[in-house]
Amino acid sequence: MSSKFDPTALIDFYEESEEFVTKYKNISDELKVVTLFRLALELASNDMGLVEAAYLMARLQHTTLGLALGKDESFENLITDYIQKKPTIN
Tens of each residue's pLDDT in the chain, 90 residues: 555 667 788 889 999 999 999 999 999 999 999 999 999 999 989 988 888 888 888 889 998 999 899 998 887 777 777 777 766 665
Give first-to-last CA distance, the chain, whole Å.
18
- What predicted TM-score, i.e. pTM, was given to this entire model? 0.71
Which of 42, 34, 36, 82 is CA-nearest to residue 58? 82
- At residue 39, the pLDDT reads 94
SS (H, E, C) the chain: CCCCCCHHHHHHHHHHHHHHHHCCCCCCHHHHHHHHHHHHHHHHHHHHCHHHHHHHHHHHHHHHHHHHCCCCCCCCCHHHHHHHCCCCCC
